[in-house]
């Protein structure tokens, strides 16, 4: 094809089984690019205010971007969105792997699911055709079992799937969507929305080449990335170790690595958790057409369980959430916990932080062995962590309470449980400490999806200038942040850097492009121009990100969120127990002032945080003004 998108969006009504193809036009795709923007457009215009996220009126959107499916490192992602059953807010999450490229190469740019099916179904796409098929025989299957079965039944050994396992089917509110059995659209509970709609999977086989208008430029960029990755000048460390394949004690010493539910600052057992690639690693793999190959593969066994290498291996977030956050240093237990989450379709971050919450509740007598079904839910116990994941996925005993998410579980348990719930807007914190990274604190607090580490500023990267800028994922120096900003700052300088980094990160969620290959905004401009033939500029692409961020904010304001929801967990305002942050703790009033500065810089009302009509006009989405709160 002559351009990198088809101008075809599938609309699937699961209630009556009908499928339509919509062609919104070139301006639509240039304004939105894909991902978050398409999700926000659908949620605001088509999902009524106040609907039950697990009801048929919610809509589920799978939205690749205008570069997805091109044979270049990082262009194998898509966003998945709906009103979140975990937060009640704008729900969006991203995934790499293989399915997104296959879906795009099967002839479509996005798919919108509406209604709900009476029986389990899956969507099959290939060569411009789309068909709903009965999935009753697959319902209840774990992800690996399903993928093997559906490939055999279709006679398509190279088909790929975006799917759920029993955790999604049981509508665990932090269930994820699995791209294959190793990669996940992890946050905000999109797997639960699939389960509520009785949608087991989208299975796709793509055979259409997506070369773009200027295929020579795309190929040259792809070759340059491969060379630089091999030389170690691009994606340094990720190609060899993935995320956290090497030392973890640096994270403990700096205070960044969460330990025992973000409570503790010291954990000598970290030495047993690190260097997983050397100890049980058997290789590295990657997403479709990507030279970074950052995905570690592990194998091992102990008396209680065996780690299946087909499920890949735990990345940094999982090593933190199922490992240090639960006090578990056993690499086999953490890897098996990762395997269970992938098999059941559970967000590993959400699962780990919820388990850590349960362990602290157990330690304080708020839940008992009778509640857990006989599990002694102590910190530092890998077997207990694994058992609690099983309970959550199957909604058994205390697992049924924990499956509702941290806020609902804390309310159900009562007592001091709310103090132990490490969440923002209901979304569990990722494995990066906001008491160390104050830009991250701002990002966590204000994010429309709840605490998220991907589109937030990791301001430890701003301390030492380098050729890439101060921030690895695109840099903020090229956007005008010319000097390092102190870690402890919450002033306008830090807010400005946070906004620039966030807009860049959200834009990448629209294109949809992985941050790991390290494409900066100038390179993305070159890539998108070559892919689409559009005369795009850096400025235009950054406005794509700002547009998406602002529309997500409008959705949340419409759903009743306010500046009171732009906050951190109570624990973040105090120190850790020992360690690098034992004298830390974020000043509540400084953070609040930073929030107001953030709103004002983005053209939102400085006092209320509501986007102004003028800002919506400037972003070419004046239509969204009707959804602003009165």
Q: Answer whether residue 469 shows pLDDT above 70.
A: no
Q: How far apart are the first and last CA of the chain?
A: 46
The answer to whether 264 and 258 are in contact (CB under 8 A) is no
Residues near 242 by beta carbon (within 8 Å), at least 6 away in sequence? 277, 284, 294, 295, 296, 313, 315, 316
Q: CB atoms < 10 A from the CB of 534, how many?
A: 17
DSSP state at residue 320: I
Give CA–CA dist 274/258, Å, rounded.
14
The answer to whether 431 and 325 are in contact (CB under 8 A) is yes
Q: Answer whether residue 465 shows pLDDT above 90.
A: no
Give CA–CA dist 453/100, Å, rounded.
22
Identify the band that residue 468 occupies on the pLDDT scale cut at 50, 70 and 90: very low
Residues near 482 by beta carbon (within 8 Å), at least 6 away in sequence? none
Q: CB atoms < 10 A from the CB of 248, how many?
A: 25
- Chain centroid to Cα 290, Å, comes to 19
Nearest residue to 314 (alpha-carbon basis) of 264, 230, 241, 402: 241
Q: What is the mean pLDDT of residues 276-295?
A: 95
As given in the structure block, the two tokens for residue 40 are 């926000």
Give CA–CA dist 218/211, Å, rounded.
8
User: pLDDT digit string (tens) for 143-181?
Assistant: 999 999 999 999 999 999 999 999 999 999 999 999 999
The predicted pLDDT at position 473 comes to 38
Give CA–CA dist 409/391, Å, rounded.
14
Residue ranges and CATH numbers for the domains of the chain are: 9-205 (3.60.9.10), 235-421 (1.10.569.10), 438-516+537-627 (1.10.599.10)
3-class secondary structure per residue, 206-225: CCCCCCCCCHHHHHHHHHHH
Identify the band that residue 222 occupies on the pLDDT scale cut at 50, 70 and 90: very high
Residue 18 has φ and ψ, to the nearest 5°, of -90, 150
Residue 409 has φ and ψ, to the nearest 5°, of -65, -45
The answer to whether 291 and 281 are in contact (CB under 8 A) is no
- Pairing mode, if any, of strands 110-114 and 9-13? parallel
463 against 383, higher pLDDT = 383
User: pLDDT digit string (tens) for 388-421?
Assistant: 999 999 999 999 999 999 999 999 999 999 999 9
| Widest Cα–Cα separation across the chain | 65
The predicted pLDDT at position 463 comes to 65
The predicted pLDDT at position 630 comes to 81
User: pLDDT digit string (tens) for 533-572?
Assistant: 999 999 999 999 999 999 999 999 999 999 999 999 999 9
Residue 132 has φ and ψ, to the nearest 5°, of -85, 135
User: pLDDT digit string (tens) for 25-82?
Assistant: 999 999 999 999 999 999 999 999 999 999 999 999 999 999 999 999 999 999 999 9
The predicted pLDDT at position 605 comes to 97
As given in the structure block, the two tokens for residue 236 are 């340094």
pTM metric for this prediction: 0.97
- Range 469-477 contact pairs with CB under 8 angstroms and sequence separation of 24 or more: 469/520, 470/497, 471/501, 472/515, 472/518, 473/501, 473/504, 473/505, 473/508, 473/515, 473/518, 474/501, 474/504, 474/505, 474/508, 474/515, 474/518, 474/519, 474/520, 474/521, 475/520, 476/500, 476/501, 476/504
Give the mean pLDDT of the chain: 95
Q: What is the mean pLDDT of residues 504-523?
A: 94
User: pLDDT digit string (tens) for 356-383?
Assistant: 999 999 999 999 999 999 999 999 999 9
User: pLDDT digit string (tens) for 311-363?
Assistant: 999 999 999 999 999 999 999 999 999 999 999 999 999 999 999 999 999 99
The predicted pLDDT at position 519 comes to 92
């Amino acid at each position: 094809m002559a351009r990198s998108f088809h101008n075809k969006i599938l609309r699937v009504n699961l209630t009556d089984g009908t499928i339509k193809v919509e062609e919104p036009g070139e301006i639509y795709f240039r304004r939105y690019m894909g991902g978050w923007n398409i999700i926000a457009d659908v949620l605001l215009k088509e999902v009524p205010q106040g609907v039950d996220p697990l009801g048929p009126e919610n809509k589920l959107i799978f939205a690749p971007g205008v570069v997805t499916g091109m044979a270049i490192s990082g262009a194998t992602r898509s966003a998945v969105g709906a009103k979140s059953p975990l937060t009640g807010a704008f729900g969006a999450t991203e995934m790499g792997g293989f399915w997104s490229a296959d879906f795009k190469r099967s002839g479509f740019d996005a798919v919108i699911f509406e209604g709900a099916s009476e029986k389990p179904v899956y969507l099959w796409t290939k060569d411009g055709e789309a068909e709903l098929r009965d999935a009753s025989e697959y319902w209840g299957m774990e992800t690996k079992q399903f993928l093997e079965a559906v490939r055999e039944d279709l006679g398509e050994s190279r088909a790929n799937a975006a799917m759920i396992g029993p955790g999604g089917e049981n509508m665990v509110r932090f269930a994820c969507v699995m791209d294959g059995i190793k990669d996940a659209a992890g946050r905000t509970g999109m797997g639960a929305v699939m389960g509520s709609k009785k949608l087991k999977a989208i299975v796709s086989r793509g055979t259409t080449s997506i070369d773009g208008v200027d295929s020579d430029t795309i190929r040259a960029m792809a070759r340059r990335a491969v060379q630089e990755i091999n030389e170690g000048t691009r994606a340094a460390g990720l190609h060899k170790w993935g995320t956290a394949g090497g030392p973890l004690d640096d994270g403990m010493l700096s205070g960044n690595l969460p330990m025992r539910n973000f409570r503790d600052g010291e954990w000598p057992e970290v030495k047993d958790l690190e260097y997983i690639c050397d100890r049980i690693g058997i290789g590295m793999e990657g997403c479709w057409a990507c030279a970074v190959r950052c995905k570690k593969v592990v194998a091992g066994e102990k008396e209680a369980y065996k780690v299946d290498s087909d499920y890949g291996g735990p990345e940094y977030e999982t090593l933190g959430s199922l490992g240090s956050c639960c006090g578990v240093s056993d690499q086999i237990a953490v890897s098996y916990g990762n395997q269970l989450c992938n098999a059941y379709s559970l967000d590993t971050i959400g699962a780990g932080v919820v388990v850590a919450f349960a362990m602290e509740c157990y330690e304080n007598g708020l839940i008992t062995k009778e509640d857990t079904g006989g599990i002694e839910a102590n910190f530092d116990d890998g077997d207990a962590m694994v058992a609690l994941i099983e309970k959550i996925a199957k909604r058994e005993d205390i697992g049924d309470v924990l499956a509702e998410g941290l806020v609902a579980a804390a309310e159900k348990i009562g007592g001091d449980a709310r103090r132990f719930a490490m969440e923002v807007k209901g979304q569990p914190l990722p494995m990066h400490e906001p008491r160390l990274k104050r830009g991250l604190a701002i990002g966590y607090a204000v994010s429309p999806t709840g605490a998220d580490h991907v589109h937030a500023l990791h301001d430890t990267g701003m301390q030492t200038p380098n050729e890439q800028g101060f921030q690895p994922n695109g840099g903020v120096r090229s956007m005008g942040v010319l000097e390092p900003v102190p870690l402890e700052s919450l002033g306008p300088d830090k807010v400005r850097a946070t906004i620039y980094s966030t807009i860049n990160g959200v834009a990448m969620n629209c294109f949809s492009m992985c941050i790991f290959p390290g494409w900066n905004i100038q390179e993305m401009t070159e890539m998108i121009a070559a892919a689409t033939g559009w005369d795009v500029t850096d400025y235009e692409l950054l406005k794509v990100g700002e547009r998406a961020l602002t529309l997500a904010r409008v959705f949340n304001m419409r759903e009743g969120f306010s500046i009171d929801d732009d906050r951190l967990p109570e624990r973040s305002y105090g120190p850790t127990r020992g360690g690098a942050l034992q004298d830390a703790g974020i000043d509540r009033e400084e953070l609040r002032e930073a929030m107001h500065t953030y709103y004002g810089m983005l053209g939102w009302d400085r006092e209320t945080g509501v986007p102004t009509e003028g800002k919506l006009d400037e972003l070419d989405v004046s239509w969204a003004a009707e959804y602003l709160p009165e």
